[in-house]
Each structure stands twice: as structure tokens, then as C-alpha cells.
Chain A
Amino acid sequence: AQKITQTQPGMFVQEKEAVTLDCTYDTSDPSYGLFWYKQPSSGEMIFLIYQGSYDQQNATEGRYSLNFQKARKSANLVISASQLGDSAMYFCAMRDSNYQLIWGAGTKLIIKP
């Protein structure tokens, strides 16, 4: 069965430190896509970064990078130099072969000043 696992329900990180949010996935499809979304308290889903299963290089978008380890089926999000505005819920999601999105349980990240 296809599944996304986020094992960290909550994290506290000091401002300016780097943070890694864990995500592991399970699928038998050779073609899939992995997403990270940020959801602040306002509720909107903010796209952060995407990694395709055939992409050779790890995706990067500004302060966000995705540590894609295909053999381990992990797609951890790394946020460098965290900021107070990074405090939010973070969701890892996987696009399956039917273009449905399978969601992880989320990680609540709190950045401490």
C-alpha cells in the first residue's frame, strides 16, 4: 500500500539553525512525485519543493532542499537558517500513478527566538 510517514509530530528549533523534517514513503510505482507543503495558521497550503522519482539531483528552492534518498525511500526537507516565519505545519505528500496525493500526518515546526 502507498503510504507517507512523518515521524515527528512536533519540533522546536532555535532561530537561524538548520532543521530537517523527516519523510519516508512507500510505493511500488516506478513513477511518483514527492512534495513538501507549508501550512501556516491561516490554513493555506504553500508549495515548497518538489522531487520527481526520476530526478537525478536533489531539489532545491532557496532555503529549502530535499534530501532524496531513493533506496531508503526517504525525502527529508531541510530548511537552512530557520526564521520565525517558518513556524507552521509541514506536510510531505506523494503523487501516485492516478495523480492522487497521499499525505503524511504533518510536523508542527516551532521556531524559537
Chain B
Amino acid sequence: GAVVSQHPSRVICKSGTSVKIECRSLDFQATTMFWYRQFPKKSLMLMATSNEGSKATYEQGVEKDKFLINHASLTLSTLTVTSAHPEDSSFYICRTTPHGLAVTDTQYFGPGTRLTVL
């Protein structure tokens, strides 16, 4: 079946550095990618929606210059946390649906990235 990979699965970095998280659809085209952030024991919070070849749409309160999203191809979307600080420590998850299915409730999630900023 369809699989979405997400790398890295876990990253620890120093404050001030940038971290790139990749979300890749392995055997289908992902037109739209949703990026979520999740705090411990909390629900998923939508950060932004990216469409291949266009600028991402950010949710209210999410800093677009802080969380850079690139969706340059139909199989790869990236989230870069720039100048990371300890408060950016969180679990980040991507979600997508297969391209070409006009009406679908098939959802695919990446396995998540646990970011710890020291």
C-alpha cells in the first residue's frame, strides 16, 4: 500500500540551528501535504498546508519565516525549522492524500519527527 516516509525520525539540535524535516510519498503523488505539530499528550495542531509548486498556506499564529515549507515535487515536501529554540521542541507529523483521487478520505501520515532543541 501507499507509504509516506518522514526523516529524520528523531533529531536533537542546539539552539539557533536549523533543522529540515522531509516528508516523502513513496509510491504515489502527493499534491497536498499537511504539516502538524503535536505537544505531549495533546492533539495535532495544523501548522500549514502545502501544494506542489505553490506557496504554503499557514494557519493563524504560525510564523512562516520560522517554519519554512517547500513542496517542490509531487513526492517531496520539506519543513525547515529555522533558528530553532527550545520552545520549538515538539513532534512534527506530515499527512497527505494520493493525487488524482478527487474525492477521497484516504489519509496517509508520516511516522513523525521528534525534535528536541537544547
Contact = CB atoms under 8 A, between A and B. Distances in A.
Contact of B43 (A33, A35, A105): A105
Nearest to B9: A43
Nearest to B6: A44
A89 B109 CA distance: 16
Contacts of B105: 33, 35, 50, 52, 95
A108 B41 contact: yes
Nearest to B49: A100
B41 A89 contact: yes
A43 B94 CA distance: 12
B95 interface: yes
Interface string A70-113: 00000000000000000001010001000111011110100000
Interface of B is mostly: strand
Given A33-B105, A43-B91, A52-B105, A91 B44 contact: yes
A95 B112 CA distance: 21
B95 A44 contact: no
A18 interface: no
Contacts of B32: 99
Interface residues of A, number: 20
Interface string B80-116: 0000000000010101010000000101010110100
A47 interface: yes
A42 B9 CA distance: 10
Interface of B: 32, 34, 38, 41-44, 46, 49, 91, 93, 95, 97, 105, 107, 109, 111-112, 114
